[in-house]
Amino acid sequence: MALTSRIQCRASDDLSLTIVDGQPVLTKADARDDRQLWFKDLTYGAGRTDEAGSPAFALVNKATGEALKHSFGYCCPVRAIKFYPAGYVDESVLWAETKKDLGGGFRLIHMVNNMDYFFDAEEGARDGTRLILFRWSRGLNQQWRISPRNSAPAPPSVAELQLPEHARPVRILCQSGQGLSLTVRDDTAVLAPVDDEDQGQCWVQSFRNAGHVTDDEGHRAFALVNRATGKALGHCQGDEMVYLAGHKPDSVDVALLWTQSDDLGEEYHNIRTVSDVGVVLDAANGVPEAGGAHDGTPVIVFPSNGGSNQKWKMLPFC
């Protein structure tokens, strides 16, 4: 069973590192708050080490699926970004710990590629304190303990999904249909009420098929592979209908590749065909004036028009 951990600051044992409104901060320890649980992913570093030989790791939040990312510089806040464990290794989400135990399991945590920038609880440690990077000042607010806790398993492994490389499993929500999620029924992509028991609502954003393919705006391509069927969502040029096709991880089929637009607000994006960013995933006739999206609404591709039925949000599938 994979372990989650709490990350505590020596300056205040009753505080835990968490994600609040997209920002890493310290908050009062709460055993019921999954935002305070982290996966220490040593495999993502692919054998990288810091200058002292300590192994690199990513710190991924259990509740949000976000990874801690290096700050923009000295004395700047550490950031939280979506974590994509497939494809290239993003060194900006890699950290390492000093080998020396400062007592009680506390160590310094620093950027893997710059051992002068350490985790620092800004101006001490209190509820709401931001996590920044700072040079070593010998303060208790720079000493951290990553304490493993038994908990629910981590997101499914590559072997469990029978996919060679993938990002975390996601649910794909449509802005037009509040509470509606992309799923598969009778080998057809439709919307359905959110249901954690429906494995058809679980999609894996796989980068293995994409190679180095990007769209015209430079966004990385990916396949959307349905967990229940093992098939990937596809599109045909000149045809509105999407389809599900066999997933062949060792070949690149442009018809099965998609990209995401930049954030359109509240983490919604267009999901676009890689060959034409003007053609996007669309909940057919799902605009409010047509009655809105509903249970069973078919999903197609359609020229981008700014409608809420063309805006999608990917969230971790629990």
Count Cα neighbours of 71 within 13 Å in the Cβ-side half-sphere.
Answer: 20
- Residue-level pLDDT at 152: 39
Residue extent(s) of CATH 2.80.10.50 domains in the chain:
4-148, 167-316
pTM (two decimals): 0.50
The class level of CATH for 4-148 reads mainly beta
Q: How confident is the model over 138-151, as pLDDT tens digits?
A: 889 999 999 887 43
232-260 mean pLDDT: 85
CATH topology (fold) of 167-316: Trefoil (Acidic Fibroblast Growth Factor, subunit A) (2.80.10)
Q: How confident is the model over 56-100, as pLDDT tens digits?
A: 999 999 999 999 999 988 889 999 999 987 667 889 999 999 998
How far out from the chain centre does Cα 234 lie?
A: 22
299-303, strands of its sheet edge to edge? 258-260, 271-273, 276-283, 299-303
Exposed, middle or buried: residue 30 (CB in 10 Å: 0-12, 13-18, 19+)? exposed
Looking at per-residue confidence, does 162 or 233 come out higher? 233
Looking at per-residue confidence, does 227 or 252 come out higher? 227
- Residue-level pLDDT at 115: 93
Residue 184: pLDDT band with limits 50, 70, 90: very high
